[in-house]
Structures are given as structure tokens and as C-alpha cells.
């Protein structure tokens, strides 16, 4: 049996390859479809003649066939060359390296918050099915699903920063008057801890609470609904009935038997939520002036600076594909009933 599982996993990994190639083709077409001729943009003087432009064209490889250009493009990406940002003047990859930790840190924080709120609520809603509590959770999740994240973020800013004055200023990662720690890892909280400064750690954490809570709101509905549904299926199953017939305590039946079985579909939803948070937190980064990759990509897009946008789309799509793959393989390894798509 194990052997066939290994084969199924290999087949699943293999099935991600055409999708990744497709993603590369799409991003390649994306640059070619973008408005403007790169050779003319690159020409040093506005009065550059046709010969000069042709020379630049040759130098940039624009005179080669489309297939050749695509292979060069893939080769450069494998070497880690995503071009230069016109705005910062830096290689795009270097710009990303500086900003990625900020995005990951915020996404993880938001993910933890969303999971910590939704899963217990979903479990309780399933246990007390059709009660007033279940109804309340239903209203809550519909409400959370309809709430635009940027609007929710602004409501939090108004209530907790302006009215109550308990939140820190909703701009950036650090309060303006302090000297941030040396960026060793780029993760504000970890860097603060490495300097052993608990006060700095507290400040970094406080800065993250509001943007992370705003991001978490969109994940509440899918996580809560999935957890409730999976838990109801588990509670209605024969093995739960059997364990109750054996006279096991209610707590033991729920925690030992129903819950682990209900976690599998929730795991898949969690993977979806985390990868969406890594890529699609653009609005929150923009709202809170968070120095992450999403805000960087949007600002480049508005400034008609396309290299960072293209890199962003490519990187996020690859993360998305790999994340789905990992979740799929884990699910198959953990649960023999799970069918791999492939």
C-alpha cells in the first residue's frame, strides 16, 4: 500500500509541472503584452535613429524568435534575475528580499489570529448545532465574508487608535521616534528578540495587531464554515457513534476521535488561506503603509514600472501552486481516504 501511495504522490508532484510552465508562459506573455517598446524606452537619447534602435534591439535579444526569447527569460529567472526596478534603481530580487520578511511576518500573524478565532468557534458551533450559538456564528461568518478588508481596517483604526487611543499609530512597522534594531533576519519581532530588547519586541508586535486583524477578517468565514461542516460530518459518523456506545466520555469522544478526523478538510482550507494572505494582502499593506511586497508591487504598477509587477505575479503564483501541492501531499500522507488530484 505504501508503495502505491509514493507513486500517487510522485504523480501529483509531476502534475504541478505543466501548471508551473504555464505560469511562466503567462508571465512571459504579460511582459510582451505590456504597452511600450522596450528598445525605444532603453534608447539613451530621444533622437536615436533607426540603426541605434536596431542595435539595442539586437543587444536585448528582441530580434530573436519568440521561443528563443522565452528560453532566455526562463534561464534568467532560474539565475534569479528579475530585472531592475526603475523606481528604486535596485535589482527587483534585492527589493523583494528586503520586503518579503515584512509580508511573511504580517501574514503569519494574521493567519494565527484567524485560526485562533475561527476553529474554536467552528467546533463549538458544530457541537451545539442549531442552538443560538450556532446561529450567532452563522451571522458572524456571513458578516465577515461581506466585510471589505480595507473598510474593516479603517473601522479598527477609528475605534482603537482615534477613539480609545489604545492602538499604536497605524503607519509602518516601527514607531517614528525609535531606532529599530539591526535588520538581521528582516523579521521585526525576531530581530528585536535577537537584541534581547523586550520593549522593542512589544512595539513591533503592537504595530502588527491592527493590520493583521484586518487581514484575518476575510479568513474567518471560510475557516469557520469548513470547521463546522467537517466537525458535523465527524460527529455524525459511525466511529463516533461506536465510541459513544462504548461509554467513552463526551470530551474524549470529541477531542480524541471526532476532532482529528475533522481536521483534514480544514487543513486544505488553511493552506488556501495562508497562500492568499501572502499574495493578496495588497490592500492592507497599502492602507497601513506596511513595507511589504504587495505595497511595493502596487506602487510599481501605478508608476508604470513593470519589472517588479511581473516578478510579484510570478512569485505569488509559484507560492500558490507549491502550497497547494504541499497541502495535497500532506493530506494524502496523513489520511488514506484522501484522493490525490493529478
Partner 1 sequence: MLSLADIRFILRRNLVTAIAGVLIVVLMVVAIIGPYIVPHDPLQTNLREVLRPPSASYWFGTDHLGRDIFSRVITAARLDFAIAIIAVALSAAAGTAVGAFSGYLGGWVDKLLSRLVDVMMAFPLFVAAMALVAVLGNSVQSIVLATAIINLPFYFRLMRAEITQRREAGYVEAAIINGNGLGRILFTFLIPNALPPVIVQISLNLGWAILNTAGLAFIGLGVAPPTPEWGIMIQEGAAMMISGQWWVVVFPGAALALSVFCFSLLGDGIRDIMDPRRRS
Nearer to partner 1, 23 or 94 (CB): 23
Cell of 189: 519581532
Positions 307 through 336 that interact with partner 1 (CB under 8 A): 309-310, 312-313, 316-317, 320-321
Q: Compute how many other C-beta atoms are within 10 angstroms of the C-beta atom of residue 244.
A: 15
Which CB sits closer to partner 1, 33 or 179?
33
Our CB check for partner 1 shows the closer of 243 and 310 to be 310
Among 122, 222, 271, 279, binds partner 1 (CB under 8 A): 279
Q: How far is the CB of 31 from partner 1 (least distance, A)?
A: 9
Q: Taking the complex as a whole, how short is the minimal distance between the CB of residue 302 and partner 1, in angstroms?
A: 5
Binding mask 135-154 for partner 1 (x = CB under 8 A): -------xx-xxxxxxx--x
Q: Scan residues 10-49 and list those touching partner 1 (CB under 8 A).
A: 18-19, 22-23, 25-26, 30, 33-35
Residue 6: Cβ-neighbour burial (10 angstroms; 0-12, 13-18, 19+): exposed
Minimal distance in Å, beta carbon 137 to partner 1? 14
Q: How far apart are the first and last CA of the chain?
A: 18
Q: Is 301 in the site for partner 1 (CB under 8 A)?
A: yes
Decide: 314 and 25 in contact? Cβ < 8 Å: no
Distance from C-alpha of 308 to C-alpha of 296, rounded to nearest angstrom: 8
Question: Applying CB under 8 A, does 286 fall inside the site for partner 1?
Answer: yes
If you search the block for the grid coordinates 463546522, which residue do you land on?
A: 228
Minimum Å gap between C-beta 278 and partner 1 is: 9
Q: Is 292 in the site for partner 1 (CB under 8 A)?
A: no
Cβ distance to partner 1 smaller for residue 205 or 280: 280
Nearer to partner 1, 149 or 263 (CB): 149
Q: CB 228: neighbour CB atoms within 10 A? A: 26
Exactly one of 200, 204, 231, 283 binds partner 1 (CB under 8 A); that residue is 283
Q: Does 217 bind partner 1 (CB under 8 A)?
A: no
Binding of residue 165 to partner 1 (CB under 8 A): no
Q: Does 155 bind partner 1 (CB under 8 A)?
A: yes
Question: Judged by CB under 8 A, how many residues of this single chain contact partner 1?
Answer: 47
Under a CB-based contact definition with an 8 Å cutoff, are residues 273 and 52 in contact? no
Find the part of the chain contacting partner 1 (CB under 8 A) among 173-181, 203-211, 262-270, 294-302.
Answer: 294-302
Whose CA is closest to 266, among 121, 168, 166, 162?
A: 121
Shortest approach of partner 1 to residue 170 CB, angstroms?
7
Kindly state the cell numbers that stand for 325: 501541492
- Output the 3-class SS for 59-120: HHCCCCCHHHHHHHHHHHHHCCCCCECCCCCCEHHHHHHHHHHHHHHHHHHHHHHHHHHHHH
Burial-class residue 290 by CB neighbours within 10 Å (0-12, 13-18, 19+): buried
Binding residues (CB under 8 A) for partner 1: these are: 18-19, 22-23, 25-26, 30, 33-35, 142-143, 145-151, 154-155, 157-158, 161-162, 170, 275-276, 279-280, 282-283, 286-287, 297-298, 301-302, 306, 309-310, 312-313, 316-317, 320-321
Amino acid at each position: 500500500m505504501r508503495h502505491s501511495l509514493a507513486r500517487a504522490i510522485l504523480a501529483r508532484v509531476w502534475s504541478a509541472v505543466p501548471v508551473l510552465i504555464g505560469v511562466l508562459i503567462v508571465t512571459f506573455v504579460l511582459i510582451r503584452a505590456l504597452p511600450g517598446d522596450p528598445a525605444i524606452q532603453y534608447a539613451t537619447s530621444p533622437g536615436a535613429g533607426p540603426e541605434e534602435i536596431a542595435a539595442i534591439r539586437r543587444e536585448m535579444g528582441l530580434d530573436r524568435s519568440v521561443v528563443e526569447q522565452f528560453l532566455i527569460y526562463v534561464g534568467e529567472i532560474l539565475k534569479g534575475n528579475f530585472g531592475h526596478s526603475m523606481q528604486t534603481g535596485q535589482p527587483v530580487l534585492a527589493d523583494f528580499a528586503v520586503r518579503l520578511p515584512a509580508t511573511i511576518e504580517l501574514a503569519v500573524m494574521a493567519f494565527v489570529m484567524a485560526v485562533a478565532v475561527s476553529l474554536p468557534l467552528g467546533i463549538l458551533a458544530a457541537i451545539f448545532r442549531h442552538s443560538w450559538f450556532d446561529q450567532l456564528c452563522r451571522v458572524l461568518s456571513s458578516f465577515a465574508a461581506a466585510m471589505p478588508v480595507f473598510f474593516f481596517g479603517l473601522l479598527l483604526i477609528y475605534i482603537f487608535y482615534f477613539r480609545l487611543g489604545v492602538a499604536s499609530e497605524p503607519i509602518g512597522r516601527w514607531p517614528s521616534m525609535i531606532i529599530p534594531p539591526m535588520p538581521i533576519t528582516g523579521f521585526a519581532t525576531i530581530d528585536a528578540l535577537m537584541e534581547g530588547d523586550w520593549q522593542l519586541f512589544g512595539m513591533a508586535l503592537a504595530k502588527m495587531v491592527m493590520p493583521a486583524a484586518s487581514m484575518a477578517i476575510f479568513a474567518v468565514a471560510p475557516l469557520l464554515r469548513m470547521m463546522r461542516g467537517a466537525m458535523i460530518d465527524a460527529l455524525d459518523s459511525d466511529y463516533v457513534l461506536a465510541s459513544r456506545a462504548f461509554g467513552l466520555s463526551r470530551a474524549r469522544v470529541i477531542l480524541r476521535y471526532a476532532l482529528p478526523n475533522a481536521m483534514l478538510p480544514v487543513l486544505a482550507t488553511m493552506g488556501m488561506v495562508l497562500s492568499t494572505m501572502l499574495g493578496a494582502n495588497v490592500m492592507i499593506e497599502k492602507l497601513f503603509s506596511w513595507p511589504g511586497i504587495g505595497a511595493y508591487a502596487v506602487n510599481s504598477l501605478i508608476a508604470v514600472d513593470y519589472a517588479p509587477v511581473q516578478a510579484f505575479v510570478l512569485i505569488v503564483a509559484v507560492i500558490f501552486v507549491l502550497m497547494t501541492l504541499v497541502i495535497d501531499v500532506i493530506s494524502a500522507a496523513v489520511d488514506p481516504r484522501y484522493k490525490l488530484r493529478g
